[in-house]
Structure 1
C-alpha cells in the first residue's frame, strides 16, 4: 500500500496547491477592480509599495482563508477522478477497507492543518497588522476612520483597587475629557483624582492631566490637592479604550491571550469578540479533517454525471459550512453567550455529518 499511499498523497497535495493557486488570482483580480480608483488617487503610491505592503499580506490572509475550501475541492476533484478511472474499484477489489483508503488523505489533511494552525496563530495576525495599516493610510474613507475615533462614557478597572472613568476620548488626537481615577481599599474609597482633560504622550507612554484635583481620604480628615498640569502614568493606552474585533485580528495568539487575561482583570464586560477570534484560529484548521472525510465519502463511488455532480454537491456543502461559520461568529460575539460552543458549532454539525457519511461509505 505504500506505493498507493504515496500516489494518493502526492496527487492530493498537487491538486490542493493547484486549486489554491486558482482561487488566489481570482481574489486579487476582484480586489484590484474594487480598489484601483483608490490606488490612482495617491500619486506617490508606487507599484512596488502596493505589492509589498498590501498584496503580499493580502495573499497571506486569503491563502490561509481559502485553505479549507481548496482542500475540500481538491479532495472531491482528485477522488472523483480516481473513481471515474475505476482506480478505486481496483483498490477495493484488493480488499482495502475504506478506513485504510483514508490514510493518505489524513496525512495530507494533517499537513494542511498544521500549516494553517501556525499561520492562524502567528503569521496572519502580524501580516494583517501591516495590511490594515496600509488600508487605513490609503484605502479607508473618512467615515470609516471616524468609526473608531470617538469613545464615550468608558470605564475600566486597571488593578484590583484602581478604576478609571472617561466621559469622552478622541483616539486620533489621544485626548479625553472629564477623567476620573478612583482607588479603593475593599469597598472604602481611599483617593479620587479628577481632571478636565487627559492627553496621552506616545513618546514616553505618560498622560498629561489639565485642571486636575486630587482628594485623599483618611479616617479623620481629607486632603485636597489641585493644579493646572500634572504628568503621570496609568497602566493603559488609548487602544485599550476601543474593544473591536479588528484589533484581535492583528494580535498573535500569545499576545491575544495575555490581552484577554488583562482585560478580564480590568472588569471589561464583553470580551466575546476577542474570544471568537481566538477560538476560530483553531476550529477552522481542525475542520480540514471533517471536510476531508465528507469529500472522500461523496466522491468515493462513481456517480452518474461524474465529477460535475460531486463538485456541485461539494461546493454547496462548503458554502453551507461557511454560512454556518459566519452565523456562529456573530452569535458568539454577543455578550453573555458561550463563545467556545458557538465557534465550534459548525464543526460539531459537520463532524456528525462526516461520521454518518463515513459509516455509510464503509458499507
Structure 2
C-alpha cells in the first residue's frame, strides 16, 4: 500500500481506465496484476471495503507488467489516499483462507485511513487538553462497556469535542456511528427513525426497516450485543431517547463506548453514565485568540482593535460559539461599526447566539 488519493467515477464497475473521469473523492484505488481476480478475490475485497464504509475505486483492467498506464488512470492513482494492488488469485492460497486475508487487508486499510495523526484540530482553540481528559474517561483498551457523558450549556463546543475524540479513536472499534441533533430529530422524525439511522451506521446496511420503537430496541440489542462499537448520541434532552437508543450497557459488545452530549446533567446521572465530563469555557487568552482568528485571521487583534476585541471577549464569557459568530461578523469592518455593534449588543443580544443559548 502507498499513500495516495483518488476520486469516484460514475460507476467503478463499468468505466475503463481509458475513459476514467474523476468526480467524487475515493479512499482507495484497487487493481490487480497477474491472473484475473476481477470476479473472485478482488471483487470480494471490494465488497468488504465498501461494507466498512471505505469508498473504493476498482479498475476494470488488470495491470500487466510492462504495460503503460494511461495518464487519466495514473492521475487517479496519484490522487488516492491508498492503493491496493492484488498480485494474483494465489494470494488467497490454501494455507490462508480468503476471508482471513480480506479481513486483514480491510483492517490495515481502515486503520491507515483513520490514523489519529490525521485529525485536524487547527483553529479549535483550547480543545487539546479537553480531548485528552475525555479520552482518559473512555479508557480505551478496557474490556468493560462504558457510557460517557459530555455536559455543558449551549454554545460551549460539546459536539465539536465529541467529534474530535470520535475521529481519533474510531479505528479501534468494529463499528462506529455519530448520531447528530437527537433532540431536534427525535421531535421531527421520531425515535424509530433515529434507531434506523443508528443501525444503518453500525451495520453498514442500507436496507433496514424499523416498524416501531420496541422492534427497534430488539434489533439494537440482538444485532449489537457481540460488536465492539463506538456511538455518539449528540444533544440528547430526554431520558426516553437514551432508553430507546442505548438503554443498557449490555446492549453492546465488550469494549464498547457510548458518548452522550447534553445540557442536562441529571439525565446522565439517572442513565448510569460511568463518567461525566463538564466542558470548560475558554479562558481570556484562549477567547481572545479564537475571536482574533475569526475577525482578523490571526492569533492577535490589530493594534487599533485590542480594546474593542477585549470588550467582545468579555461579552462572550468564554463561549466558543459566541466568539465565532461575533468574530466572523467583524471581518473587514471599521472601528465605528465595531463600537456601534457593541452598544447594540449590550441592549439586544445577537439573535444567532440567543437562539442557541
Q: Same fold (TM over 0.5)?
A: no
Question: Higher relative CO (CA 8 A, sep ≥ 6), structure 1 or 2?
Answer: 1
TM-score normalised per structure 2: 0.21
Higher helix share: 1
